[in-house]
Amino acid sequence: MSVSSRVQSRAALVFVLLVAASPAFAQTTTGAGGSLTSLLQNVVTLLNSGVVRLLAILAVMVTAAAAMFGRLDLHRALTVVVAISVIFGAATIVDAMTGGTGA
């Protein structure tokens, strides 16, 4: 991996972390457990938002293009697709394991 691609990867990671951290900065400190619950709910809402969905679509497209041109092996490409499926299906998976209704 060249130095410029490492810098680009790190810059992209910093950008994603800053965007993902923005709901945490807006939290109020009301009550003992209420702020933690609302923080975690905001993270779940962010991960299921339209913006993150569009980023996931772009990730699948880039992964498919890289695999098509031989720059990425099939194992890593499938890992990306499975990871995105687990992220967006996490609530359903947890409800199935715990017998919850998702309320």
What integer best gives the mean pLDDT of the chain? 79
- The domain locations on the chain are 3-98
Of 28 and 51, the one with more pLDDT:
51
Tell me: pLDDT of 65 over 60: yes
Q: Residue 60 in contact with residue 87, Cβ under 8 Å?
A: no
Q: How many residues does the chain have?
A: 103
- Note the pLDDT of residue 71: 92
Global pTM value: 0.53
